Structure 1
Amino acid sequence: MKKTFMGPRLRRLREERGLTQVALARTLEISPSYLNQIEQNQRPLTVQVLLKISTALGVDVQRFSDDDEARLIADLREVLGGGSLSATLDEPISLGDIRELAAGLPAIGRALLALDRRCREAEERVDALALRLGEDRGMVAGAPPMPYEEVRDFFYARHNHVAELDDLAERLFDAWSLQPGEVAAGLAARLARVHGVRVVRDDSGFGEAGFEDGPLRVFDPAGRVLSLSPLLEPGQQAFQMATQLAFLEAGEDIDRVAAGAAFRSEEARVLARIGLANYFAGALVLPYGRFLAAAEQLRYDIDRLGRRFGVGFETVCHRLSTLQRPDARGVPFFFVRVDRAGNISKRQSATDFHFSRVGGTCPLWNVYEAFARPGHILTQLAAMPDGRTYLWIARCVSHSRGGYGVPEKSFAIGLGCDLRHAPRLVYAKGLKLDDPEAPTPIGAGCKVCERPSCPQRAFPPVGGGLAIDENRSRFEPYAAVVRGAAR
């Protein structure tokens, strides 16, 4: 048996039994000073003493197992490092402090976990209530939204279309004589000629694994050097150069748009500027008029659009979700990027489709099936609980960011639109658009979905709507349970 220091647990056990150190030492046939050293973690708990404790006090030796402490440490690291309690901390808590807390004051550690769980449950109920009322979370909770929520809602309120930047990018595309699919050379020339910025592909400063360990680009304003990772593909290089040009040539326009949103915090304003610069970059690489005309001509075939404009699948999908110019609208898409764990790292909507903010998304959504079929485009007719039906396109994309042994990133990209727009898409070919039985019933997520008979339901919705009947094997609507009890 390795040296095990379990002093606080032994002290708590002694206090629970109402024993003094002298009384317990007499029972265990050891000296009071030896027992005091064990309780102070100055001496390890030996096998002989542990067996005497088990026999004399009638406790399971597993009470002194390292497993419980290890689990407590892992849970506390998660809560204090990224949970709801972490936002209230003025300084980070080290692993050493967490270990001491778990070993010396485990009851307080468990109390922190319980507090975090109640905070998350309260946040989920607020989110669910806000979703049902159609209100902003901050309006329901009485608290200001997080900075990233402010920025997300800003783009959502504009239907993911920023006309000022789209128009400016299109004018500059023509003024700089750029060509679709070949913009990288023109952007590099513009940076050099007008701004004296030299573009280099250099992996110094990006880490051994490329930009996996650092930013996508590094701009040195003093040396006038824009460093791009050598792992970037041509379309990605063009996007990064366009983003830098956004700050250099469209900075005033970006600031004006951001100022009009009246963000509550400086952090939100900074995030908005980055988002708007990225928007400008996408509009410059994929100019509105040319891109929309090509999309309509090719019936929104994503792969063919990518080849024509020299960009990847994700970039095309992202741009398709922004084509909402009042006098030249494209199909109003909603766009998502998720990982295998169900985390949504990107979501954009040009329409009124609501993504769940509570407890993940629907496992019946074809976006998750895409991981099992990498490289294939999957289609799905999906019916939401409100009766609306959508056409979803999903594909898994992977990014290799380094050499041997470096894990690659995999995401599922989802692009959806209302069923009435489906005939405009090449992906509707062969689908039974008029068959009411063809769509797959899905929801925004179990915690806000009210489908009582879904085979994939994980738990009842937050705030009620379903109950658990002890005589049945699945969730039932509250109303049905009440009627059954009345009968």
Structure 2
Amino acid sequence: MKARPMGPVCKSCKSPGARPGRRCTVCAMRKTFIGVRLRRLREERGMNQAALAHALELSPSYLNQLEQNQRPLTVAVLLKINRMFGLDVQMFSDDDEARLISDLREVLAHAAAPDTVSLAEVRELAAGMPAVARTLIRMHGRQREALARIEDMALRLGDERSGLPGIPPMPYEEVRDFFTARQNHIGELDEAAERMAAEWAGSESVAQGLERRLQQRHAVRVVQTDPDSGDTVQRCYDPQRRLLQLSASLDAGQAAFQMATQLAFLEMSDMLHRLSASADLSCEPARALARIGLANYFAGALLLPYTRFLEAAEAWRYDIDRLGRRFGVGFETVCHRLSTLQRPSARAVPFFFVRVDRAGNISKRQSATHFHFSRAGGTCPLWNVYEAFAQPGRILTQLARMPDGRAYLWVARSVSSAQEGYGQPGKTFAIGLGCDIQHAPRLVYAKGLDLKDPQVPTPIGMGCKVCEREACPQRAFPFIGRQIDIDENRRTLTPYPVQNRAGSGANGVSSANGPSGPSGANGP
């Protein structure tokens, strides 16, 4: 069966169905209306409309129209709000709204409500009542995490016990959300690291500068562990002996990173504690993990100082291998640092960074923009990050399109650490670095790719359980919230075909269809 043509595609948002000479419906919906947020801002400060209008140098009638969503937010009004209240303009950004919309759609997909909530309603909730939207997302996240743990416990106990009380998020999940909420950029640490790096720039190597500073400022001696000891600890600091031990298996860049991390704990301790204490973290283990994450952030910023690194990245069109050789660090470190370059006065390409293993587990994920990683478990097998394992050491590129119509350029490569000895396991991961297709021309990896043809990007999703692509032949699980079309007399190429809105099969014939996966009625 031939796929129906998509029709014209909007040049701005890449949404199908645009009409020549008219504004795309999706773009028209993206005017920023802030009525609820503005009322909340005013009420929190105990102001009436007349007082706020006077403070913002607006007429009371115009402010009333803004609060009633009869007028969209303008840049001039946004700047006045920023000057008056010192608010982060990101509070009203499209990226924050896009992330909320994506999270809400995932929540609604899992809710499996009989009445379908339209995209327009989801957009209105995210734009008009973001606090309500975030509350729904948090409630759903906690419910999902509790259910997952109940299932794990049931497997361990060998039964299907339920009714266990809800369990709060794990500390590492809270810390991950802490960095995501800040778009993976901590300006205070970046600036402090850049000032420190400038002290030895050009006079000695980074490793020499770090070792000298540890010795002179803190009387800390750096030694290597015995390579034959079998110890797997990479960094161990003894505060009583003022001794920092580094594993002999570390290369120069890794050793410098560990020294920089320890320097962060010694010199930036007050800032690390203040930043972790100011975060909405529920327990001390979460705050301790946050301090470790912040120290690692400082270490990366110290090895790759913001201004020098950004200038080199722009000059070399974000060539990762070239940047790694210039600054003496590995592929993963460069990719992670690129995902943090969002200083308001000097922004780089907004990247998203991910690290996965062969089993599909995501051990690291950071985003400087609106890209959403699924928390439901599993990712898309059509994503080139997984192909990287089959071609070790080779950089792979891919244009990919998400179900919401947005297209991205992805760069992926596998990275490995050597085995300590015969029979000892090593580590292999795939590193993915992505950006919106609008930024792709700034990257060397866009060479030879057709960025304008809407048919070129590979259709991928956040994971089979929440992916809306009904015709995907790689689907491993049915889409949550849609009834499977079960028919023992018919088999399709698509695993887990779904019923249409009327309750009949894809061809309009009423049926009771079975999954065509390995364990379904249409098995191999």
Give me the TM-score of the superposition, normalised by structure 1. Answer: 0.69
Give the Å deviation of 1:459: 1.3
Q: Which residue of 2 aligns with 1:391?
A: 409
Q: Is 1:367–2:385 an aligned residue pair?
A: yes
Give the Å deviation of 1:181: 9.3
Asked if 2 retains the 8 angstrom alpha-carbon contact of 1:452 and 1:466, the reply is no
Asked if 2 retains the 8 angstrom alpha-carbon contact of 1:340 and 1:368, the reply is yes
The correspondence for 2:450, drawn from 411, 427, 432, is: 432
Paired residues, what number? Answer: 356
Alignment of 1:186-265 (within 5 A): 186-203=209-226, 208=230, 210-211=231-232, 215-265=233-283
Asked if 2 retains the 8 angstrom alpha-carbon contact of 1:180 and 1:308, the reply is no
For 1:139, give the aligned amino acid. Answer: M
Give the Å deviation of 1:469: 2.5
Give the Å deviation of 1:147: 1.4
In 2, distance between residues paired with 1:282 and 1:288? 10
CA-to-partner distance for each residue in 1:336-359, whole Å, 9 max, x for gaps?
Answer: 111100011111100111111113
Q: Which residue of 1 aligns with 2:182?
A: 158
Q: Which residue of 2 aligns with 1:12?
A: none
CA-to-partner distance for each residue in 1:101-155, whole Å, 9 max, x for gaps?
Answer: xxxxxxxxxxxxxxxxxxxxxxxx9796499976465333465322111111110
Q: Which residue of 2 aligns with 1:177?
A: 200
Asked if 2 retains the 8 angstrom alpha-carbon contact of 1:138 and 1:145, the reply is no
What SS does structure 2 have at the residue aligned with 1:303? helix
In 2, distance between residues paired with 1:177 and 1:130? 56
Alignment of 1:27-38 (within 5 A): none
Give the Å deviation of 1:366: 0.3
The correspondence for 1:345, drawn from 363, 373, 377, is: 363
In 1, distance between residues paired with 2:317 and 2:339? 15
Q: Which residue of 2 aligns with 1:318?
A: 336
For 2:413, give the aligned amino acid. Answer: R
What SS does structure 1 have at the residue aligned with 2:236? strand
Q: Which residue of 2 aligns with 1:415?
A: 433
For 2:263, give the aligned amino acid. Answer: L
In 2, distance between residues paired with 1:216 and 1:321? 25
For 1:403, give the aligned amino acid. Answer: G
Larger radius of gyration: 1
Q: Is 1:168–2:168 an aligned residue pair?
A: no
What SS does structure 2 have at the residue aligned with 1:468? coil
In 2, distance between residues paired with 1:328 and 1:139? 36
For 1:467, give the aligned amino acid. Answer: I
CA-to-partner distance for each residue in 1:443-462, whole Å, 9 max, x for gaps?
Answer: 01101101000010011123
In 1, distance between residues paired with 2:171 and 2:450? 42
Give the Å deviation of 1:384: 0.4
The correspondence for 2:310, drawn from 292, 296, 305, is: 292
Task: Single out whichever of 256-265 and 294-303 deviates more from structure 2.
Answer: 256-265
Give the Å deviation of 1:383: 0.5
Give the Å deviation of 1:293: 0.5
Q: Is 1:332–2:356 an aligned residue pair?
A: no
The correspondence for 2:500, drawn from 476, 479, 483, is: 479
Q: 1:180 and 1:127, CA in 2 relative to 1: closer, same or farther beyond 3 A?
A: farther
What SS does structure 1 have at the residue aligned with 2:497? strand
Give the Å deviation of 1:472: 3.6
What SS does structure 1 have at the residue aligned with 2:500? helix
Q: Which residue of 1 aligns with 2:171?
A: 147
Asked if 2 retains the 8 angstrom alpha-carbon contact of 1:335 and 1:349, the reply is yes
In 1, distance between residues paired with 2:338 and 2:176? 17
Say what the alpha-carbon RMSD is for the aligned residues: 2.3
For 2:355, give the aligned amino acid. Answer: R
Q: Is 1:381–2:399 an aligned residue pair?
A: yes
Asked if 2 retains the 8 angstrom alpha-carbon contact of 1:127 and 1:357, the reply is no
For 1:413, give the aligned amino acid. Answer: I
User: How high is the sequence identity, in percent, across the aligned residues?
Assistant: 64
Q: 1:179 and 1:273, CA in 2 relative to 1: closer, same or farther beyond 3 A?
A: farther
Q: Which residue of 2 aligns with 1:467?
A: 484
In 2, distance between residues paired with 1:408 and 1:301? 27
CA-to-partner distance for each residue in 1:415-469, whole Å, 9 max, x for gaps?
Answer: 000000000000000001011111000001101101000010011123x135232
For 2:196, give the aligned amino acid. Answer: L
What SS does structure 2 have at the residue aligned with 1:382? strand
In 2, distance between residues paired with 1:229 and 1:184? 15
In 2, distance between residues paired with 1:452 and 1:481? 16
In 2, distance between residues paired with 1:460 and 1:356? 16
Give the Å deviation of 1:387: 0.2
Give the Å deviation of 1:237: 0.5
- Where do 5+ consecutive residues of structure 2 fail to align? 1-105, 123-132, 144-165, 512-524
Q: Which residue of 2 aligns with 1:276?
A: 294
Greater per-residue helix proportion: 1
Give me the TM-score of the superposition, normalised by structure 2. Answer: 0.65
Give the Å deviation of 1:179: 4.3
Give the Å deviation of 1:254: 0.9
For 1:163, give the aligned amino acid. Answer: G
